[in-house]
């Protein structure tokens, strides 16, 4: 974990406290343990968990720098990434984790309980259903997702959840810039405007990574998101 703490400081200017390191150690242990039974993630060794899950989650900090979100929704969180590592960094942040797969949502409930995290909601739901619920629609400062869908599809999952003046953050691989370009029209339709792409370098990871930032500049039209599955089949 020393290397993780060193990399977090070096790359993202994050000072991990002893308590945060202990939480991450517990998280890693539980994840690897559950993974043997439930196959939550393809990543199966400590070193990769630290780089490809923890550090990759921390990279979101580059997007908001000194002003972290007050309310964050993480869509398609899987085993809790990036939402739970970000909650460990920012104990006061209110986090909603959205995951449609039962065993993954169950693990998120478990790890939230084990780590004693407060103000974390785990919702087993499709993003399209959540985006039409009045209590979630346009109520978050930031909506994030990591490797969930192509950007023009992802916009339809995330932007309806973000309040005007808020921000959508997509963690992307090397296809980030091309996706961002081809999704501009879809973003506009949903009330978003592409703000910037932030390159991310992770130690020992050869692939390019990007944070794609989209400003929420106008309300999302009521018909979006469409019914579950439609966005993926008929992208905007």
Check residue 42 and give its pLDDT.
83
Residue-level pLDDT at 204: 87
- The tally of domains found in the chain comes to 1
| pLDDT at site 41 | 82
pLDDT in tens, 142-177: 999 997 889 999 999 999 999 999 999 999 999 999
Asked whether residue 49 is assigned to any structural domain, the reply reads no
H helices then E strands: how many in the chain?
Answer: 12, 7
Distances (CA, A) of 216 to 27, 60, 92, 141, 167: 33, 17, 23, 9, 6
Residue 80 in domain: yes
pLDDT bin (cut points 50, 70, 90) of residue 205 is: confident
pLDDT over 70 for what percent of the chain? 100
User: Could you list the residue range(s) of the whole structural domain that residue 155 is in?
Assistant: 64-233
Query: Is residue 206's pLDDT more than 90?
Result: no
Percent of the chain exceeding pLDDT 90 equals: 88
Q: Is residue 103 part of a domain?
A: yes
| Statement: residue 185 has pLDDT above 90 | yes
What is the phi/psi pair of residue 77, to 5°?
A: -70, -20
The CATH number that applies at residue 208 is 3.40.50.150
Q: Is residue 191 part of a domain?
A: yes
């Amino acid at each position: 974990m020393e290397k993780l703490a060193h990399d977090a400081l070096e790359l993202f200017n994050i000072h991990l406290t002893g308590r945060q390191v202990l939480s991450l150690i517990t998280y890693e242990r539980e994840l690897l343990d559950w993974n043997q039974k439930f196959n939550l993630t393809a990543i199966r060794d400590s070193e990769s968990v630290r780089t490809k899950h923890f550090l990759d989650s921390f990279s979101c900090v580059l997007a908001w720098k000194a002003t972290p979100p007050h309310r964050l929704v993480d869509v398609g969180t899987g085993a809790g990434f990036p939402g739970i590592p970000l909650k460990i960094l920012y104990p006061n942040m209110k986090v909603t984790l959205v995951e449609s797969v039962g065993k993954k949502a169950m693990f998120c409930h478990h790890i939230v309980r084990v780590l004693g995290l407060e103000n974390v909601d785990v919702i087993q739901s499709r993003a399209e259903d959540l985006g039409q619920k009045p209590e979630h629609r346009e109520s978050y400062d930031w909506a994030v997702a990591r490797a969930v869908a192509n950007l023009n599809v992802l916009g339809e999952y995330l932007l309806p959840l973000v309040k005007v003046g808020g921000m959508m953050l997509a963690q992307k691989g090397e296809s980030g810039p091309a996706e961002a370009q081809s999704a501009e029209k879809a973003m506009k339709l949903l009330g978003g405007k592409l703000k910037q792409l932030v390159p991310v370098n992770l130690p020992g990871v050869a692939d390019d990574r990007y944070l794609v930032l989209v400003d929420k500049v106008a309300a999302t039209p009521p018909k979006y998101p469409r019914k579950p599955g439609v966005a993926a089949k008929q992208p905007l």
